Amino acid sequence: MRTPINEVTPETGRAEVAGWVHEIRDLGGLTFFLIRDRTGIIQVTVVKKKASEAVLQAAKAVSRESVVRISGAVKPIDKAPGGRELTPETFEIVSPCESPLPLDVVEKVPADLDTRLDARFLDVRKPRVAAIFKIRSAVTAATYEFFSKRGYYNITSPKVVAAATEGGTELFPIAYFEKEAFLNQSPQLYKQMMMAAGFEKVFEVGPIFRAEEHNTVRHLNEATSIDVEVSFADHNDVMKVLEDLVSHQYATVAETCSDALADLGVEFEVPKAPFPRIPYADAIDIAAKKIDEPIAYGDDLSTPSERAIGEEMGEHYFIVDWPSAIRPYYAMPYEDDPSICKAFDMMHPRMELSSGAQRVHQYDLLVEQIKAKGLSPESFEFYLQPFRYGMPPHAGWGMGMERLIMTMLGLQNIREAVLFPRDRHRVVP
């Protein structure tokens, strides 16, 4: 139906392009239009004395951000974007745009994030914003490619569930006929059950729902998790999978998204595996030296602690050997010192990206640990049953897609990495 704008070159001769009117500059005898599609921008010049009556009429009537279709001769011109311009012979207004616009796509006046999210379809017309989602799409594709090359099965676990993964308070109850049900906060229990099913290596890229009370710049109520579980593997094996994946995701973006990175003004170094490993005990020592708050062994890492440790490390890293008391019941304690466990967090200097562990695969130990956390094994019977019928040792992790994109691109707010973010105050659009 048309030539993508980036394929129109000074040598093209003739072309028909279709897209949105990005800018209009009327100089009296001459009107310059910038026409934009997903691939780029082209200048269209209407010379009053030379254009046909039909072209002049359309050029006069058209408003910014209308969809137009224009055909004509292409000639080289130094000052225009892409070194070429189009002289229209036909100029059709395909779909007019009302004015004023709820949001300025050319962004002469920067809008605040809420205004942008309210008119997200317009916001995403900005090449700089579209670039984020071009990159996110490449990261998703790289993730599927990485796992399918390594023989992982892609699974889809249910998002409507009867029980919490960790008995937490972060659940959204939903109206599900006459039963009590919730939106799932993690595929954790289901990917573990697939280890009992003999799938051995699984991954899922899917939504997780967290009823996080607070509005922060790194929490969403609906996020996307990249989840992995591997049989006959320990925590060290899956940490290697994780760092290799992150390297591959960055390398793919560097290789295939140079235009989008340029639109965003982002440059990065591809993180190199292996990432440094630091025990939890050393991590809190670093934090204790750098910040004023008192920190005790056994505390969860506060945001300032995470920041302080990240500053010191300066690159992606793992925190390992966590106190068992602050990790979920399914984390495997060390045989020689059960007060610590084979759990890890993978960190970007700015924040946590992933949590994982070797899991408890022994039924009796798992029941004991569930009870020790004050939870009732009865409500986990669907999960516990597979552990009585041949469960291999296994390990895995979950990584937040939005945090990965946010840290890769230096975004200030996690909402910028989601097309239609869901937070405490936003369920529309």
Q: Contact between 348 and ligand ATP (CB under 6 A)?
A: no
Q: Contact between 357 and ligand ATP (CB under 6 A)?
A: no
One residue of 3, 143, 354, 369 binding ligand ATP per CB under 6 A: 354
> Alpha-carbon distance 178 to 343, whole Å?
38
Q: Please confirm whether the linkage preceding 429 is cis (ω < 30° from 0).
A: yes
Q: Which is nearer to ligand ATP, 37 or 416 (CB)?
A: 416
Min separation Cβ 355 and ligand ATP, Å = 3
Pairing of strands 277-279, 317-323: parallel
Q: Which is nearer to Mg ion, 114 or 213 (CB)?
A: 213
Min separation Cβ 350 and ligand ATP, Å = 11
Q: Contact between 355 and ligand ATP (CB under 6 A)?
A: yes
> Alpha-carbon distance 171 to 185, whole Å?
7
Sequence-distant (6+) residues with CB within 8 A of 396 are 191, 192, 227, 228, 229, 230, 238, 356, 357, 359
Q: For residues 212-271, which are near ligand ATP according to CB under 6 A?
A: 212, 219-220, 223, 225
- In the bound state, the residue with its beta carbon closest to ligand ATP is 400
Q: How many CB atoms lie within 10 A of CB 137?
A: 12
Q: Is 42 helix (H, G, I), strand (E, B) or coil?
A: strand
Min separation Cβ 188 and ligand ATP, Å = 9
> Alpha-carbon distance 321 to 338, whole Å?
10
Q: Is 408 helix (H, G, I), strand (E, B) or coil?
A: helix
Min separation Cβ 390 and ligand ATP, Å = 28
> Alpha-carbon distance 96 to 40, whole Å?
20
* H helix intervals, 206-234: none
Q: Which is nearer to ligand ATP, 32 or 172 (CB)?
A: 172
Min separation Cβ 172 and ligand ATP, Å = 12
Q: Contact between 355 and Mg ion (CB under 5 A)?
A: yes
Contact by Cβ (8 Å): 313, 349: yes
Q: Which is nearer to ligand ATP, 76 or 168 (CB)?
A: 168
Min separation Cβ 398 and Mg ion, Å = 8
Sequence-distant (6+) residues with CB within 8 A of 35 are 5, 17, 19, 20, 21, 22, 41, 42, 43, 44, 68, 70, 86
Considering CB distances under 5 to 8 angstroms, the limit depending on partner class, which of Mg ion, ligand ATP, none binds residue 143?
none
Residue 245 phi/psi, 5-degree rounding, is -65, -50
Sequence-distant (6+) residues with CB within 8 A of 315 are 271, 275, 276, 349
One residue of 19, 127, 310, 400 binding ligand ATP per CB under 6 A: 400
Q: Which is nearer to Mg ion, 192 or 355 (CB)?
A: 355
Q: Contact between 398 and ligand ATP (CB under 6 A)?
A: yes
Q: Which is nearer to Mg ion, 231 or 355 (CB)?
A: 355
Sequence-distant (6+) residues with CB within 8 A of 26 are none
Q: Which is nearer to Mg ion, 208 or 261 (CB)?
A: 208
Q: Contact between 231 and Mg ion (CB under 5 A)?
A: no
> Alpha-carbon distance 387 to 116, whole Å?
48
Min separation Cβ 125 and ligand ATP, Å = 26
Min separation Cβ 220 and ligand ATP, Å = 4
Task: Give the H or E element holding residue 114.
Answer: helix 113-118
> Alpha-carbon distance 32 to 26, whole Å?
6
Q: Contact between 369 and ligand ATP (CB under 6 A)?
A: no
Q: Which is nearer to ligand ATP, 68 or 313 (CB)?
A: 313
Min separation Cβ 116 and ligand ATP, Å = 19
Q: Which is nearer to Mg ion, 65 or 345 (CB)?
A: 345
Region from 131-139, 144-152, 285-293, 354-362 binding Mg ion, contact rule CB under 5 A: 354-362
Interface with Mg ion by CB under 5 A: which residues?
355
Interface with ligand ATP by CB under 6 A: which residues?
210, 212, 219-220, 223, 225, 352-355, 398-400, 402-403
